[in-house]
């Protein structure tokens, strides 16, 4: 369970951990591009540089690999997010940092974001229990912090739950809907400048939304 052991110092299982990490890294990309059913284990194996049968020595089933991919996605995302919400901090600063971190995740790990999004859109048939355990409590805690701020008159009285949904949606979309954005912008890729403009606009929206009159 404590599989977030990426340090090169650790010697135990070095070989196996390295191989697994390589497989997972490749699998994230292909699952994101083709979806769960659309992905062939053989395609992941080939891209990762081993045989299909050898891959299935490390991950006995396709679903096991898929769940491991989602585990790692959550590990990465939670590690970036857990320190952020500080009830005592200045709300505008906290929210700015929140937007920045979430947008950075969309920028740096778009495949991770997309795999998670596809699982959600399909109704989280495989992974809903993990989401309930690991994600929902954090989101509820964030909502509570927003509501404390409102009760203390530190931000305007808006719907805290839907404010969080809005934050999530706006930042997430720069990974999930980048294909459409690229078409609108007439670009092959989203650039650093695009992400800076996005961050500025979203931050502006949030700041003006929570400003007390």
User: What contacts 136, CB < 8 A, 6 or more positions away?
Assistant: none
In whole angstroms, the minimum distance from the beta carbon of 49 to its own copies comes to 23
Beta-carbon contacts of 144 under 8 Å, excluding residues fewer than 6 positions away, are 160
- Binders in 46-85 for its own copies, by CB under 8 A: none
Non-local CB neighbours of 3 within 8 Å, separated by 6+ positions: 71, 72, 75
Nearer to DNA, 17 or 71 (CB): 17
Task: Kindly indicate which of the ranges 55-63, 65-73, 86-94, 138-146 contains the residues binding its own copies, using the contact rule CB under 8 A.
Answer: 138-146
C-beta closer to its own copies: residue 107 or 114: 114
Smallest gap from Cβ 212 to its own copies, in A, equals 12
Query: Closest separation between CB of residue 33 and DNA, Å?
Result: 13
- In the complex with DNA, the residue whose CB is nearer, 111 or 190, is 111
Please tell me whether residue 16 adopts helix, strand or coil conformation: helix
Structural contact between residues 124 and 88, judged by C-beta atoms closer than 8 angstroms? no
Q: How far apart are CA 76 and CA 100, in angstroms?
A: 15
| Residue 41 binds: one of DNA, its own copies, none (C-beta under 5 to 8 A by kind) | DNA
């Amino acid at each position: 369970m404590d599989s977030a052991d990426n340090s090169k110092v650790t010697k135990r299982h070095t070989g196996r951990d390295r191989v697994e990490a390589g497989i997972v890294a490749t699998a994230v990309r292909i699952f994101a591009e083709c979806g769960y059913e659309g992905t062939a284990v053989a395609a992941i194996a080939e891209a990762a540089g081993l045989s299909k049968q050898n891959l299935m020595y490390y991950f006995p089933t396709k679903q096991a690999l898929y769940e491991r991919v989602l585990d790692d996605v959550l590990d990465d995302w939670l590690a970036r997010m857990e320190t952020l919400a500080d009830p005592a901090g200045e709300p505008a600063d906290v929210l700015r940092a929140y937007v920045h971190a979430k947008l950075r995740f969309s920028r740096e790990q778009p495949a991770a974001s997309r795999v998670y999004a596809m699982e959600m859109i399909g109704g989280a048939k495989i992974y809903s229990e993990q989401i309930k355990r690991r994600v929902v409590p954090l989101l509820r805690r964030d909502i509570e912090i927003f509501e404390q701020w409102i009760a203390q008159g530190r931000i305007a009285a808006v719907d805290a739950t839907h404010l969080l949904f809005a934050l999530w949606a706006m930042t997430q979309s720069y990974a999930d809907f980048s294909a459409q954005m690229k078409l609108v912008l007439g670009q092959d890729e989203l650039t650093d400048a695009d992400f800076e403009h996005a961050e500025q606009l979203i931050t502006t929206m949030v700041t003006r939304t929570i400003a007390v009159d």
